[in-house]
Structure 1
């Protein structure tokens, strides 16, 4: 069983003073609204998901320590783990919803990029868009892999309730599950790398703009 790999979110900044281009102010507003949506939605799912995974790992350990004489207890523990998987599915749906909502707000900033008159600032804005698009795509990959991992976890707990389950079948499924965990770890790292790149691009844009911002 594996613990949740924590994914990072986009940083937010405080807008202190703005002067000059209205487009720059509007872009800042949209970017920060997108970051706030993620911070309030995506980030708050992380700890409950990790807690649920740790709980399932404990249940799994209890199950494998039992023999078939305690079949009713095995079923009870497996059903509890399956319910936990369902809770993680809900958390994952909430996570994705905040990512999608944040990205939609981000596109409002993109719509204002064409209003930028400074060529260097426009290039930096395009860097922000490219970094966000890469990050968004990497999240879609992560989300798909996590869903597949959930399915394998649920199948494992269902298998553990089978009184006729043989060791070879169980071992093969555990190997497949562990492989999916490794894919999820790699996907999380990719998402975190793209998040860092996006944060760096956004910071560079802010520092080159006429906005006075304080980073949190």
Structure 2
């Protein structure tokens, strides 16, 4: 029983590391894209399509969050505000984090393949964007816009999942999500302006 509780606690720590419970806040983006697709085609999605969209979104977000925590582990350890995060604090191992990332991205790719060929074709590009984002703060103050692109891809992806193409209404929605996310990430970065300046990281608060 004690071993079971220990394993359960470790799984909880993994999910806590990627803020898994916050996945619910990302659903409206994808569902808005799906709604636009329905309004444009006047054809309702099947339960299977909605289910795979949800799997794709949760898989993509979980993988991206885990990857970000792995890549930023050293930087997090140096920052007083973030040194208590799971990997720097030793609560989660890098191996477990990598397994979570691999499993999440595998689920994302399977879901994309189950939706349509265009989703599967574009899925690796989305993962590449997730890989790029954690490194952006090392060389550009436009890192906030890259994060916005990551989340702005959710409604566009849901549209593609249902229609198999890209049209301007969902591109505008994706752009709006990009700007909204970039805006709050700039405000979030204000907390680390002094530290980022000291260690040579880039953000708009540091630049301005």
TM-score (norm 1): 0.36
Higher relative contact order (CA 8 A, sep 6+): 1
TM-score (norm 2): 0.37
Greater C-alpha Rg: 1
